[in-house]
Amino acid sequence: MLVRPHPDGWRITLHPAHGLLAADLYTHLPRVVPPALALPTLLAVAQHDDHQIDFSSGDYLTERGAPKDFTLLRMNESQRSEQAEHLLADAYRKHLWTGLVIGRHYEYLYDGEAVDARLKKLLRRIADKRKKVLKARGWPAELLETTYGRLRFCDRLSLILCGEELPAVGRRLEVNEGLGEATFVNQHPETDEINLTPWCFAEDRVKVSVESYVLDKLTFSSGKALGEALAGTLPELREWVFVKGNIPAAE
């Protein structure tokens, strides 16, 4: 979950909602996959960060009981491996292409990282299965790389929006190079409309949204109590508008 201060307490965006925003952003990019793979691709983008929240057992609070942002979470090797295995298995149960895209996500996340034997074994299985599936279905490896690059772009842009990381008006922030070149985001100083450079969406105007929770309680006795507070709160709808065109840059 993404946790940010709010005038009333905390604003919390859960990772499944962040994933849904990433999928929303993805739908506005020019299509590169054939129609038969469009839905399996969207499922991969929407669910790439699922299976991360279990308020009954996870460590979601700071020492003082405040909700903990995901960047502060520390999973042990066993937890990382179990999470990856569950999400990947769930993806493959939906569609082979969904599993391939999610598999590429784990390869990217853990490339060059020191991982335990269980995760190393999973990464080898991902690579082996990818070769077999691509050959069996005749899907080009380049298409998988292009698709995953788009997931990475939408994932990062969603995190920027959900995490309130948009740069100060008039300044630019690099999203990443997931679309094949560096893409930058900036905000209009007067209208709050957002621009991407180079413009990458199929339409000239794009509106996206996410649901986030605002909690007025600052601390909690347990992760379970935090989960119950979230379950008992209606989320707010946050919206952003992207518009093609030049936005004044900071002097």
Q: Where are the domains of the chain?
A: 2-168+207-241
Which conformational region is residue 11 in: left (phi greater than 0), alpha (psi within -120 to 50 degrees), or beta?
Answer: beta
For residues 189 and 198, the answer to whether their CB atoms sit within 8 Å is no
Q: Is the pLDDT of residue 15 over 70?
A: yes
Stretch 7-18: mean pLDDT, rounded?
96
Query: Taking a C-beta distance cutoff of 8 angstroms, is the pair 206, 24 a contact?
Result: no
Q: How confident is the model at residue 249 (pLDDT cuts 50, 70, 90)?
A: low
Pair 144, 135: CB distance under 8 Å? no
Burial (0-12, 13-18, 19+ Cβ within 10 Å), 136: exposed
Measure Cα distances from 154 to 48, 120, 151, 200 in Å: 11, 27, 5, 11
245: left (phi over 0), alpha (psi -120 to 50) or beta: left
The model's pLDDT over 150-191, given as tens digits with 9 standing for 90+, comes to 999 999 999 999 999 998 877 899 999 999 999 999 998 888
Query: 169: exposed, middle or buried (C-beta count within 10 Å: 0-12, 13-18, 19+)?
Result: middle
> In this predicted model, what pLDDT tens digit does every residue of 43-79 receive, in sequence order?
999 998 876 667 777 778 998 999 999 888 776 777 7
Pick from 24, 46, 50, 54: nearest CA to 230: 54
Half-sphere exposure of 14 (CA within 13 A, CB side): 19
| Whether pTM exceeds 0.85 | yes
What percent of the chain stands above pLDDT 70?
95
Q: pLDDT per residue over 90-120, tens digit each?
A: 999 999 999 999 999 999 988 877 778 888 9
Cβ distance 201 to 27 under 8 Å? no
Would you state the pLDDT for residue 251? 45
Q: What are phi and psi of 182, to 5 degrees?
A: -65, 130
